[in-house]
């Protein structure tokens, strides 16, 4: 039985725990052994918290024995290494924070702990969440379990790879411009970026404060709904946290999609999209129309302005957020600085990687007195136009659908020398963050044995509809049940 535990969904494991078919200690031990045995090939986990995990599993088993457990009690998960975890290193995959031990938990971490989950450790990521391939990590690139020569996507590539490989049924991720949905697509798992403000950002080390949003990364839509139930809720410590009702997302999975209007933007099926990926996406849409959905052509005319807009706003916010890492208060400090200027310059140039430095420089330039109006202010104006495009589109549809990424996972090293080519990986996801909308990627096919993702985009705070559509799709298909060689039973 133990050899099969890594293949079960979180809901299946929850039922097995509740029925005392297995113990949390048994489950946790099996997954820790799997990480130890297989992660050398993937490099998906930065820090394994074995001792803490087993203590949490023992506490979960005590709750289960007393009949006081909730649906997530005893279920293991992994956290992206951007979430502060009390007493556990939180590095953001950067030399700058290689020795940082937070004194508190992020709200998401504390909520999931309160729900009874067992934390196995922290996953690899692009440094400070800046990247689309998980190649900018100070700890080396993460590998895709479907093909170890390929990237898992980014920046939440470690979480995506770990879930796909069966290291944990659940993982947290963050999405600033597609960093949950794009790696979910490339690794063949389900990834949900909630509406901006739906999940607290307190304790998430900031990249771009108006764009960052935490969300679940799981094998199935049902598991994502289960996890989102625990993650959501207004947080008095986060001024951007939205005080809106939180439905039971598991209940939202029931019902049909008869007459549901799915908007298809022509801009999402342009020359940027791999034709074979396009074919798979159209076939996936056919599954939804077979369940009663209606396809509606829509126009998002400023889609391709999203990349330029994002890569002004996000670096500008990053340059402000990362100014605190100066070698003085915490984080990396250079050896033997000659003076204060030398301390700042060498601590930051040695502590930050190339991509982070590039974005800080771009952002600082865009915010400078001579260029603020020409770049940052103009980008904010275009951001509003992009948001209005979505508002107008939702007048004629209920959900928007298209690809999550323009192609399948690419080879490690293929795009590291061409930042613009790397940025194009997020062409279909960036605008969703600029507009603050919920978006989800679900497995929807394969090209040459590599997974692709169908992206679903919803109205603000309407994650329930996305989950219902995605769940019905997964009832009709088995793409979410496919496992890479490194994730199969062996």
pLDDT of the residue at 271: 86
Name residue, tokens 């400078």.
Answer: 368
**Confidence tier at 2 by pLDDT (50, 70, 90):** very low
pLDDT at 1 over 60: no
Q: Tens of pLDDT along 287-311? A: 999 999 999 999 999 999 999 999 9
Active site residue ranges: 80, 155, 179
Residue 43 above 80 pLDDT? yes
Adjacent-strand bridge partners of 216: 172
Q: Please tell me the predicted confidence (pLDDT) of residue 401.
A: 98
Pick the CATH number of 2-257+440-487 from 3.90.1300.10, 3.30.300.30, 3.30.1360.120, 3.40.1530.20: 3.90.1300.10
Average pLDDT of every residue of the chain: 96
Residues 379 and 372: their CA atoms lie apart, in Å, by 10
| pLDDT tens profile 425-469 | 999 999 999 999 999 999 999 999 999 999 999 999 999 999 999
> CB of 156 within 8 A of CB of 79?
no
Backbone angles phi, psi at 215, to 5 degrees: -160, 170
User: What's residue 486's pLDDT?
Assistant: 73
Mean pLDDT within 409-429: 93
Distance between CA atoms of 352 and 364, rounded to whole angstroms? 15
Band of pLDDT at residue 63, cut at 50, 70 and 90: very high
Distance CA 22, CA 19 (A): 8
Q: Which of 79, 114, 85, 107 is nearest to 237 (CA)?
A: 107
The span from the first CA to the last CA of the chain, in angstroms, equals: 13
Give the per-residue pLDDT at 390.
98
Q: What is the pLDDT of residues 369-384, one digit of tens each?
A: 989 999 999 999 999 9
Q: Is residue 490's pLDDT more than 70?
A: no
**pLDDT at residue 3, as a whole number:** 46
d(CA 142, CA 134): 6
pLDDT in tens, 177-196: 999 999 999 999 999 999 99
pLDDT tens for residues 196-214?
999 999 999 999 999 999 9
**pLDDT value at 12 more than 80:** yes
SS3 state of residue 108? helix
Please report, rounded to a whole number, the percentage of residues in the chain having pLDDT higher than 70: 99
How far are the Cα atoms of 43, 373, 390 from residue 96, in angstroms, in the given order? 20, 32, 38
pLDDT surpassing 60 at residue 488: no
422/131 Cα distance (integer angstroms): 8
Which has the closest alpha carbon to 46: 75, 80, 76, 77? 80
Query: Percent helix, strand, coil in the chain (nearest 5)?
Result: 45, 15, 40
Tokens of 344: 């700042």
Q: With H, G, I as helix, E, B as strand and everything else as coil, classify residue 287.
A: helix
Residue 111, pLDDT > 50, answer yes
Q: Contact, 121 vs 78, CB < 8 A? A: yes
pLDDT given at position 489? 43
pLDDT at residue 330, as a whole number? 84
CA-to-CA distance for 122 and 129, rounded, in angstroms?
14
Q: Are 120 and 28 spatial neighbours (Cβ–Cβ below 8 Å)?
A: yes
The whole model's pTM is what? 0.96
């Amino acid at each position: 039985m133990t050899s099969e535990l890594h293949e079960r969904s979180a809901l299946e494991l929850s039922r097995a725990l509740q029925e005392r078919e297995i113990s949390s200690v048994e489950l946790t031990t099996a997954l820790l052994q799997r990480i130890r045995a297989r992660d050398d090939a993937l490099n998906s986990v930065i820090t394994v918290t074995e001792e803490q995990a087993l203590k949490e599993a023992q506490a979960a088993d005590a709750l289960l024995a007393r009949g006081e457990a909730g649906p997530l009690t005893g279920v293991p998960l992994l956290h992206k290494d951007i979430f502060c975890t009390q007493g556990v290193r939180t590095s953001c995959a950067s030399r700058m924070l290689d020795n940082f031990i937070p004194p508190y938990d992020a709200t998401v971490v504390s909520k999931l702990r309160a729900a009874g989950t067992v934390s196995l450790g922290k996953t690899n990521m692009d440094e400070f969440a800046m990247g689309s391939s998980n190649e900018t990590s100070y700890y080396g690139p993460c590998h895709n379990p479907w093909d170890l020569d390929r990237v898992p996507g980014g920046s939440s590539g470690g979480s995506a790879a770990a879930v796909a490989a069966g290291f944990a049924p659940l993982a947290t991720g963050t999405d600033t411009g597609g960093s949950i949905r794009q790696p979910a697509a490339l690794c063949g798992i389900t990834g949900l970026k909630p509406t901006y403000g739906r999940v607290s950002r307190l304790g998430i080390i900031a990249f771009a404060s108006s764009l960052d949003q935490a969300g679940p990364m799981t094998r199935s839509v049902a598991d994502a709904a289960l996890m989102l139930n625990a993650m959501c809720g207004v947080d008095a410590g986060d001024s951007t946290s939205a005080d809106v009702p939180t439905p039971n997302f598991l209940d939202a999975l029931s019902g049909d999609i008869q007459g549901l209007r799915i908007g298809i933007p022509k801009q999402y099926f342009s020359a940027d999209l791999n034709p074979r990926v396009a074919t798979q996406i159209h076939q996936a849409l056919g599954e939804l129309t077979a369940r009663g959905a209606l396809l509606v052509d829509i126009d998002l005319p400023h889609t391709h302005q999203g990349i330029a807009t994002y890569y002004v706003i996000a670096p500008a916010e990053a340059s402000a957020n990362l100014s605190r890492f100066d070698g003085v208060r915490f984080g990396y400090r250079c050896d033997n600085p000659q003076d204060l200027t030398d301390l700042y310059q060498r601590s930051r140039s040695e502590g930050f990687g190339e991509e982070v430095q590039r974005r800080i420089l771009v952002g600082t330039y865009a915010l400078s007195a001579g260029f603020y109006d020409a770049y940052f202010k103009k980008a904010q104006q275009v951001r509003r136009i992009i948001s209005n495009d979505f508002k107008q589109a939702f007048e004629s549809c209920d959900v928007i659908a298209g690809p999550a990424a323009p192609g399948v996972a690419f080879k490690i090293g293929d795009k590291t020398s061409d930042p613009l080519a790397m940025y194009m990986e997020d062409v279909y996801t960036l605008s969703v963050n600029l507009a603050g909308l919920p978006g989800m990627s679900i497995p929807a096919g394969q090209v040459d044995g590599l997974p692709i993702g169908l992206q679903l985009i919803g109205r603000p705070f309407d994650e329930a509809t996305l989950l219902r559509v995605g769940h019905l799709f997964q009832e009709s298909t088995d793409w979410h049940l496919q496992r890479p060689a490194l994730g199969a039973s062996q």
